Structure 1
Amino acid sequence: MERDSGDPEVTRARQAAEAGDWTALRAVLEGRPESGDRTELLMAVADTAGVERWIGGVVDAEPDAALPRLVAGLRHVRWGWDARSGALAKHVSRDQFEVFHERLRTAETWLYEAAEREPAWTSPWYGLLMTGRGLQVGQVTARRRFEAAVRRDPYHLGAHQQQLQQVCAKWSGSHEEMHAFARESAFGAPAGTALGQLVAVAHLEHWLALDSGADAAYVRRPEVAEELHRAADHSYRHPDFAPRTGRLQILNSFAMAFSLAGERRAARECFEATEGRVTEVPWQYLDNDPVAAYRKQRSAAGR
């Protein structure tokens, strides 16, 4: 599975985080400014176990710096979700929820401090979208956080992905609201942006929410395939497609959506473009082993 999306800077950031080398990590992160969308770099660090053991010392040593607070906040977001696990709420214990909420509250403190120190940065608001969902701040507050993010970066893929999750039925939204948000975001953006992925993900979320039988019937509707093709034409098929981040995840998302929709030729096109490189999202929806799910669907598409 493609751990670092083929980006050597993501690998360097993760390795520096694993080593607890703040000097090296800061150099990598500062080498890609907010305007270049450093979400992948930051989330590779946030996903690295052990960062929480040393980043607090950096925060204390640099009281005026935003970057250590941003890293600490995002790590606590991921660390919090680790405590909760990916289980349905009814299967999560009270102790798990207490740890989850405690870590998210700590994350919120650091993310707000980062936002205060660097008002033009998008990344703190991206993190606050994740903490807000976990802390159930409500749709109005969540929308304000999303609007704060996109005022700074109108086509930020990560912020849009988080807001899509916020309006899913499983997070007190609805299928209708989710699809409307995906369409408005994708087709309201210039052709060639990454936001076309939202249409594919919305259909995958809708499929996932349905019972067996109803899920296949839904995703194979002609109007679903038609909208997937329209989104593909507006995003990765467009000659201006050159996303700052997330290219492999976008292609993997469309590969899965087209596969489930029975659009073998379109799915095969996506599989070819990935060159065998698998991202966890969205294949974990099909199997706990994303690589196995990818290979099965790729074979069915004739690759």
Structure 2
Amino acid sequence: MSILGRLLGRRSRGGGAALAVDPAHGDEELRGLQARAAAGDWPAVRAGLDAVADEADRTWLIAQLAETAGSETWLAAAVAAEPDSALPLLLAGARQISWAWEARTGARAQHVGREQWQVFGERLEKAEEQLYDVAEREPGWLAPWYFLQISARGASLGPDAARYRFEAALRRRPDHLGSHRQRLQQLCRKWGGSHEEMHDFARTATLAAPEGSPLGELVALAHIEHWLDLDSGEDRAYITRQAVRDELYEAAKRSVLHPAYVRGRGWPGAFNTFAMAFSLAGQPVTANVLFRELGDTVTEFPWAYLDADPVEAFRTCRTAAARAGG
């Protein structure tokens, strides 16, 4: 039985309203930029990014655009056509990281082939070169330091490099959720950290932030990552502990369920994360509150942890939550 089946004690029958992963996270501006990127229209993509003043927002948009298949080709041309511009170089570096992970796949290290490792390393090396160039040209920009955290983890550059890059990002934007997410990944046991380090970081960052901060999502992410690392049986026993449930409630009330919480760019990601966490924890009523806010906006992460088809995982958990939540 799949992880999803173990979670609910049965297999999903599917069906129901049509659902699909939304690569734009419900953001219509991003959806337009993704269409232009898919068409290779760099001038239009540049115009859209230039119009975004907030550094965190622009970083998030670039991270999503970096997933555009085939964009590495026209980005190379854009970099060559604008050798003195940092923006095409930034997007090209971000794309190299995404492209590297496409070669590596999401498999555990022991299941990645030699040729995959070689391509992965070559693309990460190119990303490092481009992103450091951007950081030197534009020392105030947040984005290169955000992406350099991901390349450092992939290239196994070690804890000192990872910490330096995280701190560099926070000097430019102390409340940046994306950088905190990357730091939490770095502290996961699967990346050489430990459950203790990961939970301590998540809880400390959450409690240090003002109420309504999006950083509360870190607590939910940490518990999901801990759950994922455990064997069948141990995983459910862990995530349904009262202490874990209490921490999830505390984090949700300080973030996504707090009146001061602002739904910024990519907010459905946090709601999907908490919805999955509460579903795993056997708290369908609270999960239902989050599902109702989401509507049909499904994000691939973290649902892909539950099933090869994230839409099926979302649908199954949402149905169970709706039955309990009324």
Cα deviation for residue 244 of structure 1 reads: 2.6
- Which residue pairs with 1:188 in the alignment? 208
Q: State the match for 2:18 in structure 1.
A: none
- Alignment partner, residue 7 of structure 2: none
Give 4+ residue runs of structure 1 displaced > 3 Å after superposition. Answer: none
Q: Decide which of 197, 207, 217 is 1:197's aligned counterpart.
A: 217
- State whether structure 2 residue 47 is matched by structure 1 residue 27: yes
Q: C-alpha separation between the residues in 1 aligned to 2:297 and 2:36?
A: 24
Tell me the residue number matched to 2:159: 139
Give how far 1:36 is off.
Answer: 4.9
Instruction: Kindly indicate whether the alpha-carbon contact (under 8 Å) linking 2:56 and 2:142 is maintained by their aligned counterparts in 1.
Output: no
Alignment partner of 1:7 is 2:30: no
Cα deviation, residue 35, structure 1: 3.1
Q: 1:237 aligns with which of 235, 251, 257?
A: 257
Among candidates 158, 161, 173, match of residue 181 of structure 2 = 161
Q: Aligned equivalents of 1:171 and 1:254: distance in 2?
A: 23
Q: Which moved more, 1:239-248 or 1:215-224?
A: 239-248
Q: Could you tell me which residue of structure 1 aligns to residue 126 of structure 2?
A: 106
Mean Cα displacement is larger for which, 95-104 or 33-42? 33-42
Alignment correspondent of 1:119: 139
Residue 8 (structure 2) aligns with: none
In structure 2, the residue matched to 1:16 is 36
3-state SS in 1 of match to 2:256: coil
Indicate the SS of the match to 1:288: coil
- The yes-or-no answer on 1:247 pairing with 2:271 is no
Q: Does 1:76 align with 2:92?
A: no
Q: Distance in 2 between the 1:288 and 1:143 partners? A: 32
Deviation at 1:246, TM superposition (A): 2.3
CA contact (8 A) 1:193 1:243 kept: no
Structure 2, unmatched stretches of 5+, are 1-20
Question: RMSD value over aligned CA atoms?
Answer: 1.1
- SS for the counterpart of 1:177 is helix
TM-score between the two structures when normalised by the length of structure 1? 0.98
Percent identical pairs in the alignment equals: 52
5+ long unaligned stretches in structure 1: none
Q: How many residues align?
A: 303
Residues 108, 34 of structure 1: CA spacing in aligned structure 2 closer, same or farther, 3 A cutoff?
Answer: farther
CA contact (8 A) 2:101 2:120 kept: yes
Q: Taking structure 2 as the reference length, what is the TM-score of the superposition?
A: 0.91
Measured against aligned partners, the alpha-carbon deviations of 1:188-222 in whole angstroms (never above 9, x if no partner) come to 11111211111001000000000000000000000
Contact 1:47 / 1:78 at 8 angstroms: preserved in 2?
yes
Q: Which amino acid aligns with 2:188?
A: C
Deviates more, 1:242-251 or 1:171-180: 242-251
